[in-house]
Amino acid sequence: MNAPRKTPNASGWKPGTPVEGDNAMSGPDTATGNRALMLEEPLLFEIGHSETTGVDFDFAAKLDLAGVEQPTPPTPAPCGRLGNFERSEPIGLVGLTEPETVRHYTRLSRQNYAIDLGLFPLGSCTMKHNPRLNEKVARMPGFADVHPLQPVDTVRGALEVINELAFWLIHLTGMHSIAMSPKAGAHGELCGILCIRAALEARGDARKVILVPESAHGTNPATAAFAGYEIEDIPANSDGRVDFDALKSRLGPDVAGVMITNPSTLGLFERDLKAISDAVHEAGGFVYCDGANFNAIVGKVRPGDLGVDAMHINLHKTFSTPHGGGGPGSGPVVLSEALSPFAPLPYTSRTKDGVVHLVEEENADSFSEEHFGGRMQHFGRMTAFHGQVGMFTRALSYILSHGADGLRQVAEDAVLNANYILRSLEDVLDAPFAHSGPCMHEALFSDKGFADGLSTLDLAKGLIDEGYHPMTMYFPLVVHGAMLVEPTETESKAALDQFILALRSVAERAKAGDETLKTAPFHAPRRRLDETQAARKPVLAYKDQSVPAGTPVPSEVGGR
């Protein structure tokens, strides 16, 4: 391990260093607008044609086993059955051949930051390495190429995957059962809240209020409102945790439940969660736990031991299914014994003979009679089919690779990495809760001490020039200019050291009032983008411009 360098860059250069001319780093303008490997790419609609296609069809020629092409005319269609609905107008699509397509998207891909390129410290998002074995497994034909409505005897392996992952998630959380179908975290939250509402209605108890801390993810209040609840804030105490006494005094016959994130979005473990759960249960309510931050405690603590009634698990966070530039996610919800009867359909269940059954609308009642004493009162259905099975295969492969011991190590290394960042930077960045003990999987800083006129946004954009994706900014809302840094366990110490060096340098510039930060980034594919214009005059789809042939389009001249 090399000692950290004293200067940010071997040459001594750093963003903001005065250079000769307008910008010696970028050199003179180029005719194409490209800059070596930084390549501009036009919009598909500016380069494609309605007559071009990158797909060939068999009906022009058939390939026999010997590989000899034998042109055979297609069997003519019997008279069409489209009635009066046959398309008469063009759709307005354009196509590219395969080489053009591969190049278009490859060039676009190079304008993205990604975990594969470097540390991605987005707090609360758990950007960890995505093992490629999981991608390989998900593509096995027995998983990738099966239809959700095939007769169950032809998909026993897929049902076993769902059930085996369910088994792991139930045991890792110490809960009673699980709903696997929710499509993402927010969908899982909705599932959990609907279970709570169904359980309350089943006992004829119409409660109206859900309590949510101010530090919660925006999805929490949005979900509870969607399910018809009024939202009330839970105050925090001075060390950033839920104010237990205030919460307790608010509990009553109108409170359906509380939604608590643990560890919280401040990166803190809610020490009083068990006591909170007991008090909420005592008052007849339920406890929803936002499991977005489960990565910090997997294998170390079971939410079931803390009295939680429902918790979603973001498979795309803790269990490493790829984020894919914004999904797909997957949000199974573990449930307590009290909520289990209300779980949505469909679900899988393994009976003593080892067979995994699929329980849907048609057999829900009979299955419940036979195996659960008729207790099941499912609240309905969250989605068509069985959930994100393609994510289940990946998550199961991840879990089996780590095992019970490896998952515990995941949490320990994630927490160690976050504390290492916290303690390495608290002298230069304000860490509002550093005094209250160790953090969990993420370190929280504020903009206190920045020079006037410089903000968290400026620091974040400066970090882009250092080659990093910024941390989560301005969240949680309860901390001014919040910066939430989550390194995850898949970063080496050397990678952390270089990130700390970069963040320290940018933080020092922000404190010293380095004005160049205000216009950073300088070295990204784009400078700061005008979000106000985007919202004021929304352009949300490409509109064909009638320009004479041969006129260069914006991207062909560097976007100008």
Q: By rule CB under 8 A, what string of x and - marks binding of each residue 356-385 to other proteins?
A: ----xxxx---------------xxxxxxx
User: Which is closer to other proteins, CB of 10 or CB of 147?
Assistant: 147
Question: Which positions from 73 through 102 interact with other proteins, judged by CB under 8 A?
Answer: 74-75, 77-96, 98, 101-102
Question: Which positions from 219 through 248 interact with other proteins, judged by CB under 8 A?
Answer: 219, 221-228, 231
Residue found by looking up tokens 């490859």 in the block: 106
Pick the binder of other proteins from 8, 41, 199, 479 (CB under 8 A). Answer: 41
Query: Could you say whether residue 218 binds other proteins (CB under 8 A)?
Result: yes
Pick the binder of other proteins from 27, 30, 49, 282 (CB under 8 A). Answer: 49
User: Which is closer to other proteins, CB of 371 or CB of 420?
Assistant: 420
User: Which is closer to other proteins, CB of 372 or CB of 542?
Assistant: 542
Pick the binder of other proteins from 192, 387, 462, 487 (CB under 8 A). Answer: 387
* Closest among 322, 267, 321 to 293, alpha carbons compared: 267
Helices 219-226 and 185-202: crossing angle, nearest 10°? 40
| Other C-beta atoms lying within 10 Å of the C-beta of residue 26 | 14
Query: Could you say whether residue 490 binds other proteins (CB under 8 A)?
Result: yes
Run of H or E including 166? helix 156-173
Write down the least CB distance from residue 309 to other proteins, Å: 16
Query: Could you say whether residue 432 binds other proteins (CB under 8 A)?
Result: no
Contact 285, 256 (CB under 8 A): yes
Q: By rule CB under 8 A, what string of x and - marks binding of each residue 245-274 to other proteins?
A: -----------------------xx-x--x
Tokens for 202? Answer: 């089943």
| Other C-beta atoms lying within 10 Å of the C-beta of residue 498 | 21
Query: Could you say whether residue 354 binds other proteins (CB under 8 A)?
Result: no
Question: Which positions from 114 through 153 interact with other proteins, judged by CB under 8 A?
Answer: 114-117, 120, 122, 125, 127, 129-131, 133, 135-151, 153
Q: Alpha-carbon distance 123 to 444, whole Å? A: 9
Q: Alpha-carbon distance 105 to 154, whole Å? A: 37
**Long-range contacts (CB closer than 8 Å, 24 or more residues apart) made by 424-428:** 424/496, 424/500, 424/504, 425/500, 425/503, 425/504, 425/507, 428/504, 428/507, 428/508, 428/511
Write down the least CB distance from residue 162 to other proteins, Å: 9
Q: Alpha-carbon distance 194 to 344, whole Å? A: 9
Query: Could you say whether residue 300 binds other proteins (CB under 8 A)?
Result: yes
User: Which is closer to other proteins, CB of 88 or CB of 238?
Assistant: 88
SS3 134: helix
Write down the least CB distance from residue 246 to other proteins, Å: 19
Query: Could you say whether residue 427 binds other proteins (CB under 8 A)?
Result: no
Query: Could you say whether residue 328 binds other proteins (CB under 8 A)?
Result: yes
Question: Which positions from 1 through 40 interact with other proteins, judged by CB under 8 A?
Answer: none
Write down the least CB distance from residue 472 to other proteins, Å: 8
Q: Alpha-carbon distance 330 to 187, whole Å? A: 9
Query: Could you say whether residue 192 binds other proteins (CB under 8 A)?
Result: no
User: Which is closer to other proteins, CB of 355 or CB of 512?
Assistant: 355
User: Which is closer to other proteins, CB of 61 or CB of 108?
Assistant: 108
Burial letters 391-414, b for 16+ CB under 10 A, else e: bbbbbbbbbeebeeeebbebbebb
Pick the binder of other proteins from 311, 489, 506, 509 (CB under 8 A). Answer: 489
Query: Could you say whether residue 453 binds other proteins (CB under 8 A)?
Result: no
**For the purposes of burial, counting CB atoms within 10 Å of the CB of 332, is it exposed (0-12), middle (13-18) or buried (19 or more)?**
buried
